[in-house]
């Protein structure tokens, strides 16, 4: 099997995840998987930023609640790097509805509701590029070697 290429993806620990004190647990799962944190930022998303981030969902019934939630408190934004990082992170996040998310996934293990479902992760290379530019406009990603790099 061919090794995946190194990709970069955006993760947000949503306000419910931060308020529940699960940011460290979530970052730890990605670190243990050998994904590399190359940028991190704690911020409160403005309504304007929320509408850009979630533009694809505008007009859907859950959209107003989604924007209310994502702007309701601080999020932890992470840029993660690793082999096939975009699909690996989505697998680790699990299905949108925590009741349907597989055990072992972040939502499956820790989530209980659909709108406050702990975490956002980019769903494709195009989304990752767009979302990373929104949260890390300087593009200042850190470069370092993990001690477990032989597995990365």
Task: Decide: 65 and 54 in contact? Cβ < 8 Å.
Answer: no
Helices (H) and strands (E) in the chain, counts: 7, 4
Backbone torsions φ then ψ of 35, nearest 5 degrees: -75, 145
Binding site partner of 62, from Mg ion, ligand IDP, none, Cβ cut-off 5-8 A by kind: ligand IDP
Among 26-34, 38-46, 110-118, 130-138, the segment contacting ligand IDP (CB under 6 A): 110-118
Toward ligand IDP, which CB reaches closer, 90 or 152? 90
Distances (CA, A) of 23 to 16, 55, 56, 150: 10, 25, 26, 27
53 catalytic per annotation: no
Site for Mg ion in 67-126 (CB under 5 A): 123
The span from the CA of 142 to the CA of 111, in Å, is: 30
Residue 96 binds: one of Mg ion, ligand IDP, none (C-beta under 5 to 8 A by kind)? ligand IDP
- Least spacing, CB of residue 91 vs ligand IDP, in Å: 12
Q: Which of 25, 31, 109, 123 binds ligand IDP (CB under 6 A)?
A: 123
């Amino acid at each position: 099997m061919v090794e995946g290429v190194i990709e970069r993806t955006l993760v947000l620990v949503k306000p419910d995840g931060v308020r529940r004190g699960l940011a460290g647990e979530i970052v730890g799962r990605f670190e243990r998987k050998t994904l590399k944190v190359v940028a991190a930022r704690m911020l409160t998303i403005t309504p304007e930023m929320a509408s850009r981030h979630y533009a694809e969902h505008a007009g859907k019934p859950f959209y107003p609640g989604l924007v209310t939630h994502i702007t309701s408190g601080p999020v932890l934004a992470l840029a993660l790097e690793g082999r096939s990082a975009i699909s690996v992170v989505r697998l680790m996040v699990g299905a949108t509805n925590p009741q349907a998310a597989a055990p072992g996934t972040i939502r499956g293990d820790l989530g209980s509701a659909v709108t406050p479902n702990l975490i956002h992760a980019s769903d494709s290379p195009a989304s990752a590029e767009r979302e990373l530019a929104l949260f890390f406009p300087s593009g200042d990603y850190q470069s370092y070697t993990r001690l477990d790099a032989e597995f990365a």
